Amino acid sequence: MTPERYRRLRDVLDKRQPDLTVLMENVHKPHNLSAILRTADAVGVYEAHAVNPTGGVPTFHDTSGGSEKWVYLRVHPNVDEAVAHLKERGFTVYAANLSERALDYREVDYTLPSAVLLGAEKWGVSPRAAELADADVVIPMMGMVQSLNVSVAAAVILFEAQRQRLASGLYDRPRLDPLTYRRTLFEWAYPREAAVLRRQGLPYPELDEEGRIV
């Protein structure tokens, strides 16, 4: 761990947004999952969520650019549990879903705790997921095709959230609580050591100002 690398990790962690996330409902194609996680990393999402009844997620694809190492992914067995988990933590869930009640995605206030719900590639969000969402959002389309690839839709919406949050100063100071910040920093800086310590049930050691283990 070089001091330069350690400062880079801290700079990125300082901008992580614990109250902005994405929920992927049965997004099966690895390149789509990976692309969404890459966008999530780019806008500062701390933890993403996925629904997969099999309990796993597709294999990561080169499209992710290694972003799966920097964005935690919590997998839920069904959409009911996923949405309940988010709402218990104060998130408003916005489904990317074309409906009569859908809002233009730019009309949403993403500076408040927000979760963007995205559906499977072919079918979109399920009827149950749409029912559970607090609101639907839509990206206006001017062409013959009335939908975007799921990873493209995720990027459009998440970068609007980033734009709003930048304007509101939400990237100007660390947003993670101190315990989560220290834990994540150690896992990013020393992933192998962190894995061993977790298996052994041992606490992480402290790091000094240059990222060395104390």
Does 213 count as an annotated binding residue?
no
Tell whether residue 148 is among the known ligand binding residues: yes
Residue 206, annotated as binding a ligand: no
- 179/195 Cα distance (integer angstroms): 18
The annotation status of 70 as a binding-site residue, yes or no, is no
**CB 5 within 8 Å of CB 13:** no
Long-range contacts of 65-69 (CB under 8 A, 24+ apart): 65/38, 67/34, 67/37, 67/38, 67/40, 67/41, 68/34, 68/37, 69/188, 69/191
Alpha carbon 74 to its chain centroid, in Å, reads 9
- Bridge-based pairing of strands 114-118 and 92-96 is parallel
119 assigned binding-site residue: yes
Give strand pairing partners of 115. Answer: 21, 93
Query: 3-class DSSP state for residue 162?
Result: helix
> Is residue 205 a contact partner of residue 182, using CB atoms and an 8 Å limit?
no
Does 120 belong to an annotated binding site?
Answer: yes
- CA separation for the pair 57, 112 (Å, rounded): 28
What residue numbers does the annotated binding site for S-adenosyl-L-methionine cover? Answer: 119-123, 139, 148
What residue numbers does the annotated binding site cover? Answer: 119-123, 139, 148
